[in-house]
Structure 1
């Protein structure tokens, strides 16, 4: 029995052209104006997300303080119990 030999693929000019087209990135294909607009949109979205997160954190802190402010004496005693210092 003879061994089968694998034939190496010869690269034709058309396959080399396809490789160079594959290496082009999206940034290479877009105009500078479009790329700048996309970057500006991304930056504004990130800033909006950060602002929303800060607002959410502030609201949570406010709500926690309001809940504690509105606790009855019994609830405060249950929560803090004997943790207070005695004179």
Structure 2
């Protein structure tokens, strides 16, 4: 039984040392390295946003082109009598 108690006492000490190591990671990094990482993160976020905007613009353009290329029959079937200013 004495062995179990010793093992239980050692585990919290190991957990505390692991927590202290994790907390000091920021301190261990050089300020320049940390700044480079932050800059790289901002750059990646900006690139992702630009790619998303480009995809949305492309989809809008394609949708507009499909609408533009519809035949009269397709337009009539889609819209029918809706939108006519002469309907009562």
TM-score of the aligned structures, taking structure 1 as reference length: 0.73
Return the structure number with greater relative CO, CA threshold 8 A, min gap 6: 1
SS in 1 for 2:78: helix
- What CA deviation, in whole Å up to 9, does each residue of 1:24-51 have, x standing for no partner? 2432221111100000000000000001
- Structure 1 residue ranges without an equivalent (≥5): 1-6
Extract structure 1 runs of 4+ deviating beyond 6 A: none
Q: How many residues align?
A: 82
Relative to the length of structure 2, the TM-score reads 0.72
5+ residue gaps, structure 2, are none
